[in-house]
Structure 1
Amino acid sequence: MQQVVFIIAVCVCFVSACQITISGGKFNSDVCKGYGRLESKVDILTDKLDRSLHLLKKINEQVKDCRHKTSLIRNVALRKGSQQSSWYGNTRSWGNYICCATEYANDGNATTTSATNLDNMPYWWVDLGHVYDIKRVEIINRSDGYGHRLHDVDITIGRTLNELSLCAHYKGPGKTGQHLVFHCNHQMSGRYVKVAIKGKEYLQLSEVMVFAPETSG
């Protein structure tokens, strides 16, 4: 009978980790105390592991967010279809200059230049092919002289050429080879980006870059 009581006492001890005294003899409580200390250490280690896993999860989310913000934004205007108000000289080279076709403004080569005639309100626009959430527009001014011709510029964005809204205005005048960066006054989406001068002037652009996430609408 005492053996049965002893076995039951051992089971209860390991469940409750309590000090137990049995009628007819004392049960050794050191086993329960040892179990209690071990259980406490396990709890501490489990808590540390949970905190470490939570920290690793946050770090992983931050890395993914950084990758999304940096690697997916690109120049969506590169080598896309474009038009300008006129084509100076109807030529692709002028003396030592590679000028003046409309596609020279978004061919990825800043040594080439698009150029219009001396127009009233000259313009250049690009069809991005899809609607994008535009992050910024960058312009590299003509690199072979006459940089002052870039002035009073409106940069507009829209889903069609008939519904363009102002992104930014540049008073100028520009400098030869100048790299200009424009952030819209508010979040804008569009398929078309247009660069136009308000007044009578030549519009000469070495490069127009439109930066947006790769995903499109």
Structure 2
Amino acid sequence: MKIRVLLPYTTFWTVIVLTTDIWNYIDGSCNASVRFERDVAFDGVVPMPAWYYINSFPNLSFASCTLACFQSVSVCSGYLFSSQQLSCKLLRTFLTHIDRNGSYIGGDWEYRSRAAEILSLNKPVTASSNYKDYETYASHKLIYLVDGITNAPGKFHTYFEPYPWVTIDLEKISIIRDVVMFNRADDYGRWLHSVEIRVGNSSVWSEMATCGTYPGPSETGDIITVECRPSRYGRYVTLKIVHPNYITDDPNAINGNNAIVLEEVVVNGLYL
């Protein structure tokens, strides 16, 4: 069910307290829709470091907590709410799997996160190299990385080089929750290893912040999710193999050469 909360240009608010399940959606007067999803896997205890939070509010109802996140001047990725304490904590970062199931001090809290969007679909892609530039017969293109199609004959493929990389331009500054890599489904999946993912407002590697890493090696057809911990803000997302190849029985890997070959990359998060 969707409810509409009018945002009048006045100092005061009229809030109708409804049941928890109804407050999944909030629509503002600007017609922007915000959805909050309950994480049933959350273990009920909260992270302690202050950098997780925008603000905390005692004596706040669930509905008011939802509205507080929606109205936050800072980007609120979700909130923690305690029905026993009537306490609300607004989050500046999505909680990762580790955060949701860590050994933290807490109680009866529940976690609601903003519903993430796919930010990468059909966005511009640049790379350190393109296999098709060296082997013209190959049915590989840069755009195949973000075309929404997996397990297709054509895929994204760099050439063989020490530290190949690929950058997706999201075209807007965003908050990145996670990056999902769909490894090639035909063969040679072991080539995916030692991947570092960085996010930034610049596409220059040294000016970007690390989202997360995947040590690997992978297997053919694997789907790998790397969660940003903490969530990262930026326009550009770069994947780079940062260590020489461990493979010794393939001539293409001579001198530690690597190649990034993927069916698809999906970047999930929120536009700012």
- Shorter chain as denominator, the TM-score bin is 0.5 to 0.7
The residue that corresponds to 1:85 in the other structure is: 128
The residue that corresponds to 1:206 in the other structure is: 263
Taking the aligned partners of 2:182 and 2:24, their CA distance within structure 1 comes to: 32
Letter in 2 for 1:68: R
Does the CA contact (< 8 Å) of 2:132 and 2:141 recur in 1?
no
Q: Could you tell me the TM-score, scaled by structure 2's length?
A: 0.53
Call closer, same or farther: CA 1:93–1:139 in 2, change over 3 Å. Answer: farther
Q: How many residues in Structure 1 have an aligned counterpart in Structure 2?
A: 158
Deviation at 1:59, TM superposition (A): 3.1
2:209 aligns with one of 165, 170, 174: 165
1:143 match: secondary structure: coil
Does the CA contact (< 8 Å) of 1:126 and 1:192 recur in 2?
yes
2:224 aligns with one of 158, 180, 187: 180
The residue that corresponds to 1:10 in the other structure is: none
Deviation at 1:89, TM superposition (A): 3.1
1:176 match: secondary structure: coil
Does the CA contact (< 8 Å) of 1:81 and 1:103 recur in 2?
yes
2:229 match: secondary structure: coil
Query: What does 1:7-156 align with in structure 2 at a 5 Å threshold?
Result: 57-59=18-20, 62-64=23-25, 68-69=35-36, 72-90=115-133, 94=138, 99-110=139-150, 111=152, 112-156=154-198
Deviation at 1:187, TM superposition (A): 2.0
1:105 match: secondary structure: helix
Does the CA contact (< 8 Å) of 2:181 and 2:225 recur in 1?
yes
Taking the aligned partners of 2:148 and 2:35, their CA distance within structure 1 comes to: 23
- Determine which structure has the larger helix proportion and give its number: 1
Taking the aligned partners of 1:176 and 1:145, their CA distance within structure 2 comes to: 6
Structure 2: runs of 5 or more not aligned: 1-14, 27-33, 38-113, 245-256
Worse-matched range after superposition: 83-92 or 150-159: 83-92
2:235 aligns with one of 191, 204, 208: 191
Does the CA contact (< 8 Å) of 2:24 and 2:36 recur in 1?
no
Per chain length, whose mean CA-contact separation is higher, i.e. which structure has more relative contact order (CA < 8 Å, sep 6+)? 1
2:18 match: secondary structure: helix
Deviation at 1:100, TM superposition (A): 1.8
Does the CA contact (< 8 Å) of 1:92 and 1:101 recur in 2?
no
Structure 1: runs of 5 or more not aligned: 1-52
Q: Could you tell me the TM-score, scaled by structure 1's length?
A: 0.66
1:201 match: secondary structure: coil
1:104 match: secondary structure: helix
The residue that corresponds to 1:4 in the other structure is: none
Taking the aligned partners of 1:59 and 1:165, their CA distance within structure 2 comes to: 37
Taking the aligned partners of 2:202 and 2:163, their CA distance within structure 1 comes to: 19
Deviation at 1:103, TM superposition (A): 0.9
Deviation at 1:183, TM superposition (A): 0.6
Taking the aligned partners of 1:69 and 1:63, their CA distance within structure 2 comes to: 5
